[in-house]
């Protein structure tokens, strides 16, 4: 089956962190370098955005608080109230701040686990186009009361994050490791253990790096292949590369399943000039339909 590709949201500089809200039937995402949060409502055909105070890493709804979101800005996780309209976001509270010992770091990717705990990662500063201070990031778990604990250190660029509860697995990508890790996952505590590389890019002749990813109900991973114009479908149980879907942008950043039945894959991209301009439609958000799979849902954050 050949998937159908559509452009659904106009270009931003660095689209990231797509989250599909089943309650609202809307897509939330950010543009990191534009310092903006975004809401796209397919049925209404609307796209709202609001400016934040710095580089913006993610936006995730807070469970039980309509129009309230956990938003990552620089090194802070903020509670933000936003109605989805242009320019209407208000900071309510600072939930947590991470990497206080490395103030040049920033948040990069985050998701809530199936119990609503926030897993959030950091990365080192970009000191030249496409060049980063390595091994300075960490992966954190943020509890509902805002307390935090480090799960991993010496991370280059924290990315990916998804869970397979049935198989007690957590999947994660440190992008400059050029691989995907599997951890044992304890849903009761949020603990992760026993990391193992289950997919190495060079073993499959792949260029670029792993970026954001999601999982379908069959347990297969869908991975954004940044700097290689691809979405990858991977079987994490045997490390097989099941499919490669060509995208019309070099910098494919992340993906999430959405739509009424969670059968559409919504893909964010970027148009960052790292020595070469990225031509249109780079930076747009796309919809892939007709994939023949159903996706796992995006979980909301639970805060006290």
**For the segment 43-54, what is each residue's pLDDT rounded down to a tens digit?**
999 999 999 999
**For the segment 23-35, what is each residue's pLDDT rounded down to a tens digit?**
999 999 999 999 9
Give the SS3 label for residue 283.
coil
Identify which of 35, 36, 40 has the alpha carbon closest to the alpha carbon of residue 10: 40
Catalytic-labelled residue, pool 211, 227, 273, 304: 211
Q: Name the residue range of residue 16's domain.
A: 4-289
Assigned token pair, 76: 């802070």
Identify which of 282, 150, 289, 180 has the alpha carbon closest to the alpha carbon of residue 229: 282
Asked if 154 contacts 105 with a C-beta cutoff of 8 angstroms, the reply is no
Q: How many domains does the chain have?
A: 1
Whether 276 is in a domain gets the answer yes
Cβ of 61: how many Cβ atoms within 10 Å? 23
Identify which of 18, 47, 48 has the alpha carbon closest to the alpha carbon of residue 32: 18
pLDDT value of residue 28: 98
Read off the CATH number of the domain in which 39 is found.
2.120.10.30
- Phi/psi for 204 (5° steps) reads -115, 10
Whether 303 is in a domain gets the answer no
Asked if 209 contacts 167 with a C-beta cutoff of 8 angstroms, the reply is no
Asked if 108 contacts 157 with a C-beta cutoff of 8 angstroms, the reply is yes
Whether 295 is in a domain gets the answer no
**For the segment 276-293, what is each residue's pLDDT rounded down to a tens digit?**
999 999 999 999 999 999
Asked if 16 contacts 30 with a C-beta cutoff of 8 angstroms, the reply is yes
Whether 301 is in a domain gets the answer no
**For the segment 179-226, what is each residue's pLDDT rounded down to a tens digit?**
999 999 999 999 999 999 999 999 999 999 999 999 999 999 999 999
Whether 297 is in a domain gets the answer no
Whether 226 is in a domain gets the answer yes
Whether 160 is in a domain gets the answer yes
Per-residue DSSP letter, 101:
T
Whether 298 is in a domain gets the answer no
**Has 184 been annotated as catalytic?**
no
Task: Name the pLDDT band for 2 (thresholds 50, 70, 90).
Answer: confident
111-129 mean pLDDT:
96
pLDDT value of residue 129: 86
Which pTM value belongs to this model?
A: 0.98
- Phi/psi for 3 (5° steps) reads -70, 155
Exposed/middle/buried for residue 171 (C-beta within 10 Å: 0-12, 13-18, 19+):
buried
Asked if 72 contacts 161 with a C-beta cutoff of 8 angstroms, the reply is no
Furthest-apart CA pair in the chain: how many Å?
50
* Average pLDDT score over the chain: 97
């Amino acid at each position: 089956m050949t998937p159908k590709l559509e452009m659904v949201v106009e270009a931003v500089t660095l689209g990231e962190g797509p989250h599909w809200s089943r309650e609202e039937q809307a897509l939330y995402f950010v543009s990191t370098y534009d310092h903006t949060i975004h809401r796209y409502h397919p049925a209404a055909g609307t796209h709202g955005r609001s400016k934040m105070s710095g580089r913006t890493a993610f936006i995730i709804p807070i469970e039980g608080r309509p129009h309230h979101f956990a938003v990552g800005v620089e090194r802070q996780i903020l509670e933000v109230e936003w109605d989805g309209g242009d320019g209407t976001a208000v900071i309510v509270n600072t939930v947590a701040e991470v990497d206080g010992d490395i103030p040049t770091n920033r948040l990069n990717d985050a998701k809530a686990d199936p119990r609503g705990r926030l897993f959030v990662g950091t990365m080192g500063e970009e000191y030249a186009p496409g060049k980063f201070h390595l091994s300075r990031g960490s992966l954190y778990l943020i509890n509902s009361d805002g307390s935090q604990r480090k799960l991993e250190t010496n991370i280059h660029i924290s990315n990916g994050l998804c869970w397979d509860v049935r198989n007690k697995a957590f999947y994660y990508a440190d992008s400059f490791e050029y691989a995907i890790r599997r951890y044992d996952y304890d849903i009761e505590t949020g603990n992760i253990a026993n990391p193992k590389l289950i997919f190495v890019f060079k073993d499959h002749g792949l260029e670029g790096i792993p970026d954001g990813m999601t999982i379908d109900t069959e347990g297969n991973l869908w991975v954004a292949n940044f700097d290689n114009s691809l979405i990858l479908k991977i079987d994490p149980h045997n490390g097989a590369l099941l499919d490669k879907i060509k995208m019309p942008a070099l910098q494919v950043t992340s993906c999430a399943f959405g739509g009424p039945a969670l059968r559409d894959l919504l893909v964010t991209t970027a148009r960052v000039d790292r020595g070469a301009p990225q031509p249109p439609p780079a930076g747009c958000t796309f919809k892939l339909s007709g994939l023949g799979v159903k996706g796992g849902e995006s979980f909301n954050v639970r805060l006290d």
